[in-house]
Amino acid sequence: MVNTQVTLCGIALENPVIPASGTFGFGREFAALYDINCLGTFSFKGTTLHPRFGNPTPRIAECAAGMLNAVGLQNPGVEHVKAVELPALAQIFHKPVMANVSGFSVAEYVSVVEQLTDEPQIGWFEVNISCPNVHGGGMSFGTSPAAAEEVTRAVRAVTKKPLIVKLSPNVTDIAAIARACEAGGADGVSLINTLLGMRLNLRTRKPLLANTTGGLSGPALLPLAVRMVYQVYEAVKIPIVGMGGVSSAEDVLELMMAGATAVEVGAANLVDPYASEKIVKALPQVMEQYGIARLADIIGAAHR
């Protein structure tokens, strides 16, 4: 019998599979399809201080081996999440949940985390400094080590819960950003978010997305994610949540061997709403296939 359990920043997970923020709503949408308690946990919809409608449509453009999105952090705001989404979630999900938060200033990040830190179901904060689809926030904090450390340090001061900082691949040296987050007090980092991309409509000769550019996700990202997780594992001592192009149990093992403690599943949930459940179910058999008795033993195996 294989053991799929891992421990992420001091909290035990039955398995390392975590649906990524922005691809799983607040859980209710998927709980109608299957028992989401089979998951390790999930990262809920990116939450900001104030409600956001997001970017104008069209927001989605397909491409080979993936998709572009420019949703723009559409969400109901932190007050609604506290009053409506978290109580509803408590009825269907009986594990700690990961709260993904974003902001347009350091003060906004701090305020969102302050308002959520006493919520009992929140196990971790995933601080998104890597969203490429908003202006004046998100990725602007994640492309500078100094800015990344500033946000991390400010949020660290207002919560005792594990703090995971979500990193952007749209940088020259992701290891430098990870080290800055570690220096600022992060308990972990998650990577990678989407790569900035663009598509054109050949008839109109204009961008397909109203935002012009969008974040590329999907299977095309996996080799890049493996490379960046590998690099960050060598640069920091804190745990890594790996993501980017994951669509199978084999992909989970690959990212864990590169250095990830847990693995988020993103665009695959939009292609197949049962994707995360299927990966959880497939993990034991795939572990046996590769002679893995205990999943925690393969974290960073590629470095040994």
pLDDT digits (tens, 9 = 90+) for 50-63: 999 999 999 999 99
By annotation, the residues acting in catalysis are 131
- The pLDDT > 70 percentage for the chain reads 97
Question: CA 172, CA 234: separation in Å to the nearest integer?
Answer: 16
Question: CA 59, CA 76: separation in Å to the nearest integer?
Answer: 18
Assess whether pLDDT exceeds 60 at residue 138: no
Diameter of the chain measured on Cα atoms: 57
Question: Could you tell me the domains of the chain?
Answer: 6-303 (3.20.20.70)
Using the structure block, give the residue that is written with the tokens 């700690």.
96
Q: Mean pLDDT, to the nearest integer, of 280-303? A: 98
Assess whether pLDDT exceeds 80 at residue 106: yes
Does residue 50 come out as left (phi exceeding 0), alpha (psi in the -120 to 50 range) or beta?
beta
For position 119, what pLDDT does the model report? 98
For position 141, what pLDDT does the model report? 81
On average, the pLDDT of the chain sits at: 95
Q: With DSSP H G I counted as helix, E B as strand and the rest as coil, what are the percentages for the chain, rounded to 5? A: 35, 20, 45
Assess whether pLDDT exceeds 80 at residue 139: no
Q: Mean pLDDT, to the nearest integer, of 119-135? A: 84
Assess whether pLDDT exceeds 80 at residue 134: no
Assess whether pLDDT exceeds 70 at residue 135: no
pLDDT digits (tens, 9 = 90+) for 167-198: 999 999 999 999 999 999 999 999 999 999 99
Q: Which amino acid is at 237?
A: K
pLDDT digits (tens, 9 = 90+) for 32-52: 999 999 999 999 999 999 999
pLDDT digits (tens, 9 = 90+) for 201-249: 999 999 999 999 999 999 999 999 999 999 999 999 999 999 999 999 9
Q: Mean pLDDT, to the nearest integer, of 281-300? A: 98
Assess whether pLDDT exceeds 80 at residue 131: no
Spacing of C-alpha 78 from chain mean position: 18
Q: Burial of 279 by CB count in 10 Å (0-12 exposed, 13-18 middle, 19+ buried)?
A: buried
Question: CA 76, CA 85: separation in Å to the nearest integer?
Answer: 9
Start-end of H helices in the chain:
28-31, 78-80, 86-90, 106-116, 139-142, 145-156, 174-183, 222-235, 249-258, 267-271, 275-289
Question: CA 147, CA 190: separation in Å to the nearest integer?
Answer: 17
For position 214, what pLDDT does the model report? 95
For position 143, what pLDDT does the model report? 85
Question: CA 214, CA 30: separation in Å to the nearest integer?
Answer: 25
